[in-house]
Structure 1
Amino acid sequence: MNSAIVALLHCFLLADFIQSAPISPSDPSALIEGAERAKTLVEKILRDVPAVHAATVTIEGLTLDSAHTANLQMMVTSLGIPPAPVLKPLSESFTLDVCVSRMSAGSRLYQMILEVLSGRLSGLSDLQADLRDLQTHITKMKEAFQLGVIEVDQNQNQNQNLDLASRLHGNYGVQVAAHLTLTQLRSFCHDLIRSLRAVATYRPRPAGAH
C-alpha cells in the first residue's frame, strides 16, 4: 500500500477518533435541504454510471455486474485503487460529522480518480462535473452543521493521482481501471443515498439527553 493511501486512511481514522458528542446544526433546514439536493444528484450519478461504463469499457464480458475474479482483485492492488471510505448508520460512535466527513472524502476520491482516467478515456467528464457539484452540496452541509472536518492534504491527493497515472499501462489496464472505479463508485453511491436519507431525517438530541 503506497504512502498516499496510508495517509488518506490515517485521516479517516483520525477523523473518527477526534469526534465527540453530536453538535446541533446552526441551520437545520439548510442541512436537510443540502442532504436532499445531494441525494438527488447521487441518484442521477447512479442512473448515468451504466451508460458511462458501456461507453468507456469495451472489454468483452466486463460489465458492471461482472463477478470480481481473482485477476480483477489483483488489478485493484496493482493499480493502487483505494476503497471508498466506509459509511455506517448514524450512532454515538459514527456521528453525523464523521458521516459527512467520509461523504466528502469519498466524493473527492472518485473525482480525483476520474480526472486521472479522463486523460486516457473520453466520456467521463459529465460524471466528474456531477461529483464536483456533489462536493459543493456536501460542503454546504458541513457549513450548516458547523463541522470541523479534517481535510486531506492537497499534496497527498496529487501524489496519489500521479501514482495511479504511472500504473496505467496500455488500453487494457486503463479500461480495467475504469471498470473497477465505476463499480466502486456505484457501490459508494448506494451507501451515500442511505446515509443522506439518515441525514435528511436527523434531529439532534436535546442537551443532557441520554
Structure 2
Amino acid sequence: MNIVIVFAIPCYMASLVCSAPLPEGSTLVEDPQFQEILLMSRSLVQKILLSIPDTHKSCIYTEGLQLNSSENAKLATMATIINIPSAPALRAVSESVTLKTSLTQMSEGLRLHQDLLSSVSQKLQSKDKVTELMADIRDLTIQVNKMLKMVQKEAVVQPSPTPVALNLPGEYEVQVAAHLTLVQLQSFGQDAVRLLRSLDQSNEEAKN
C-alpha cells in the first residue's frame, strides 16, 4: 500500500470494520479470557493515540510538519526516499478474512512502527516521549499476540526489535521520518480501534 493511501483510508476503514460480521472465530471471540485481553488492548490503543500528539510536539520542531494536516500527503516522495514502509491495511473479519489474518496484520503493523521508532529515535534530540510510546506499543503487541495465540493454538514468536534501514543523511530527513511514522501510527491506531471495537462483545450486549 502506497503511503499516500494511508492518509485517505480512515473513513473507508470505518465503514468496513464497524459493519464486519464474525463468521469465523465467533465462539473464541465470545470467550471471557479473549474479551478480557481485547478490552486491555483497546485501552492500550487509546493510550497510544492520546500520547501521539505530545510525542510529536516533543520531538518535531521543523516548521510545516503538522500531525493532522492535508499537507502530509505531499510528503509521499520523501517517504519513499527515506524508505519508510507502509503499514499493513487492517481488514475486518469477514467471509474472506479470518480472525487470525486480522490479528496478524495488527501485530505486524505494531512491530513495524516499533522498529521505525527504534530506528529514528537514535537520531532524535529529544526521545523520552518516543521511548514511552514504544513501550506502550510493545505492551499492546504482547496483548494482540495473546489473542493470536488463542486463535492459532500455538505460541506467537515475537522477534526482537529490528531497526529499519532508513535513509537519514540529515536533520531534516530525521524530522520527516519521525513525523511520518507518527502520522502513519495514528492512522493505523485509529483503524485498530475500529477493528477491536467490532470484536468487543460488550458492545453487542449493550445493544441488546
Q: Note whether the superposition's TM-score is higher than 0.5.
A: yes
1:83 aligns with: 86
1:176 aligns with: 176
* SS of corresponding position for 2:68: coil
Instruction: List aligned pairs for 1:56-205, cutoff 5 A.
Output: 56-68=59-71, 72-121=75-124, 122-123=127-128, 124-146=130-152, 158=162, 161-164=163-166, 167-201=167-201
Contact 1:27 1:145 in 2 (8 A): no
Answering whether residue 27 of structure 2 is matched by residue 30 of structure 1, we say: no
| Unmatched 5+ stretches in structure 2 | 1-22, 203-208
- Whichever residue aligns with residue 50 of structure 1, its letter is P
Once residues 105 and 149 of structure 1 are traced to their aligned partners in structure 2, the CA distance between those partners, rounded to angstroms, is 15
2:46 aligns with: 43
Contact 1:26 1:144 in 2 (8 A): no
Contact 1:32 1:201 in 2 (8 A): yes
* SS of corresponding position for 1:168: coil
The 1:34–1:97 alpha-carbon spacing in structure 2 relative to 1, beyond 3 Å, is: same
Provide, for residues 40-79 of structure 1, a one-character-per-residue CA deviation record: whole Å limited to 9, x for no partner: 0010110100011011110112110122357511111011
The 1:149–1:97 alpha-carbon spacing in structure 2 relative to 1, beyond 3 Å, is: farther
The 1:86–1:149 alpha-carbon spacing in structure 2 relative to 1, beyond 3 Å, is: farther
When the two structures are aligned, how many residues end up with a matched partner? Answer: 177
| TM-score (norm: length of structure 2) | 0.76
Contact 2:149 2:156 in 1 (8 A): no
Q: Displacement, 1:107?
A: 0.7
User: CA RMSD of the aligned region, Å?
Assistant: 2.7
Contact 1:22 1:97 in 2 (8 A): no
Percent identity, aligned pairs only, is 38
- Whichever residue aligns with residue 192 of structure 1, its letter is A
Once residues 57 and 63 of structure 2 are traced to their aligned partners in structure 1, the CA distance between those partners, rounded to angstroms, is 11
1:12 aligns with: none
Once residues 42 and 70 of structure 1 are traced to their aligned partners in structure 2, the CA distance between those partners, rounded to angstroms, is 24
Contact 1:28 1:144 in 2 (8 A): no
* SS of corresponding position for 2:64: coil
Once residues 62 and 119 of structure 1 are traced to their aligned partners in structure 2, the CA distance between those partners, rounded to angstroms, is 20
